[in-house]
Structure 1
């Protein structure tokens, strides 16, 4: 069965990378969530996509220039007029504690900024181990040095390279860095690449798959999983295949 990961939570309908979006993804029946991590000024790992807070909150400036307490005062749901309750930027600790209450898988993307490389990996691994979630977490990044470093620190946690350009025999590359899976842009993985990767034991979880036609293509060939903004739509289509 092709698994469904909710991209930044159920982000088609709720504020991305918030507890609200993650909980609604669980309620929708998603198999997992995908989220992004960055470091604050006081080295708290927080869940936010951009280097800056401007797009997703009512604040402005770089995440790295905020303390965690300052970041928590911002509202990550202010653009969603239908949501009356303020949604703060979550800490990764908060998300991992919530994951202990369910069986969801979690894809943690390390944002590939130069500031965070070699700073975020060790505390990230410590947290995943502290919450006993090593079996349910996949660490991904466009910075492949970062995930290789994670593998060296914690070979028990799965790593998966993110990429958005066509790779020749990507399963060979994945194996070379000890990755058990890979997370390509859906546009650069034709069916034959997905099939070959699966045959060589490499799991494929394309991103960000929102169109019905693409979802059906991936269900048809038995892709491992895909990452989508709209888990409800994906689950509805998947039911036709069961």
Structure 2
């Protein structure tokens, strides 16, 4: 083989390099631009811990779509009601969401103590470099008080759950069964942003003793799985798609075209989440995740039976609520008197509604000229407008009773009890409950109720 002169080889190399560079430039110009990502930072509350402990307050940084290059986030903390150096360590730093990834965490060290005090807050200011637009530049993190004992009954001289003639509270039943995929963090976040006052959630215990938020005894109606919650582990439940059967405006029908299930596949990574959310927001959440995510929202927790028979369900619930300092901004409710009474025994400081059997006797006793006696251990009646919403198998044949009447509301208020009515889903019934003066309306349609509440009282109607 002949030898190419050095000058000729240099010319060839230069030509090859130039053509490669030009080809690369041509390819780049033909390639569509990468769409920008939306960055959201979500604070997750943390209990402050005991003296000497240093828990971590975490902020989840989420992109709605990944970027081909790393996204750098700079952050800095500042005091709000918490004190730097006493309650937390002031922190300045940077974190990275790696190319192709969707999230990372910003972490701030918290300083534990034994002082009884309200929840404390700090601000996290942040900015990002790269092809990113942030939804905000500052968020507030919460250090929950876990030092207050819960061994004494609450006092409700001024019952905080009564509205005293004002508009009723908007209770988002399971996060809004018709508006959003029920009992998901996505649903609760959306209704909170829309203005709902109370997040209502049902809690079961898993096979491995974790407390999860789900209404049904089994996962069949709402997810892509089957089986009873008590027979499944948390890991098995987390693998399911909690929005699998949800159709906006319809709930969870199982007979719709595939295109109607607009959130199906987000939980499993087969479809991107909406801006500000991640796949985990469409999975079955734990109660602790909800307490971390919504430290300042009023919450209604419905207790379920202790299905595994170990007797630790109510104690576990009480301990978790105390750990996050949740007592007078929580109502614990139950249709199961045993569960309600067991919980009351271990968490007397937490607000509770009257359980089913006791409440039924009080309602029946107040008929005619009867009155509702004071029930100082509870703060509310949670009742249907009438018995048509109760399973007929639980009633005598042909029995019907209008529960929520003007007299009933007056009697309950005279006993210092709030009247919280479930489940009201039509505009007409919402307006009727408002006229009766109830304190809260539980609804599968919190968006509709919020629209009514945001309309001046004299202009509210259902004509549209």
TM-score normalised by the chain length of structure 2: 0.49
Distance 1:201 1:165, change over 3 A: closer
Distance 1:206 1:115, change over 3 A: farther
The aligned counterpart of 2:116 is: none
The aligned counterpart of 1:193 is: 408
Structure with more helix by fraction: 1
Matches of 2:193 and 2:288, distance apart in 1: 21
Counting only pairs closer than 5 Å after superposition, residues 63-102 of structure 1 correspond to structure 2 as: 63-80=229-246, 81-84=261-264, 85-86=266-267, 87-100=282-295
The aligned counterpart of 2:305 is: 112
Moved segments of 4+, more than 6 Å: none
Question: Does structure 2 retain, via aligned residues, the 8 Å contact 1:39–1:116?
Answer: no
Classify the secondary structure of the residue corresponding to 2:341.
helix
Question: Does structure 2 retain, via aligned residues, the 8 Å contact 1:41–1:64?
Answer: yes
The aligned counterpart of 2:382 is: 183
The aligned counterpart of 1:34 is: 200
Q: CA deviation at 1:213?
A: 1.7
Q: Which runs of 5+ in 2 are unaligned?
A: 1-165, 247-260, 268-281, 387-402, 459-464
Residue number among 444, 459, 464 corresponding to 1:229 in the alignment = 444
Distance 1:219 1:23, change over 3 A: same
Between 1 and 2, higher relative CO (CA 8 Å, sep ≥ 6) is seen in 1
Classify the secondary structure of the residue corresponding to 2:208.
coil
Matches of 1:6 and 1:58, distance apart in 2: 24
Aligned: 1:19 with 2:212:
no
Residue number among 37, 49, 56 corresponding to 2:215 in the alignment = 49
Q: CA deviation at 1:214?
A: 1.6
Q: Which runs of 5+ in 1 are unaligned?
A: none
Matches of 1:72 and 1:125, distance apart in 2: 23
Matches of 1:232 and 1:182, distance apart in 2: 24
The aligned counterpart of 1:59 is: 225
Distance 1:29 1:9, change over 3 A: same
Question: Does structure 2 retain, via aligned residues, the 8 Å contact 1:174–1:180?
Answer: no
Matches of 1:40 and 1:153, distance apart in 2: 21
Q: CA deviation at 1:114?
A: 4.7
Matches of 1:40 and 1:46, distance apart in 2: 7
Q: CA deviation at 1:223?
A: 1.2
The aligned counterpart of 2:111 is: none
Q: Bigger CA drift: 224-233 or 35-44?
A: 224-233
Q: CA deviation at 1:79?
A: 1.2
Matches of 2:315 and 2:238, distance apart in 1: 23
Question: Does structure 2 retain, via aligned residues, the 8 Å contact 1:110–1:139?
Answer: yes
Matches of 1:71 and 1:185, distance apart in 2: 31
Looking at CA atoms only, which structure, 1 or 2, has the larger radius of gyration?
Answer: 2
Matches of 1:151 and 1:130, distance apart in 2: 17
Matches of 2:311 and 2:432, distance apart in 1: 38
RMSD: 2.1
Classify the secondary structure of the residue corresponding to 1:189.
coil
Matches of 1:118 and 1:59, distance apart in 2: 27
How many residues are aligned here?
Answer: 239
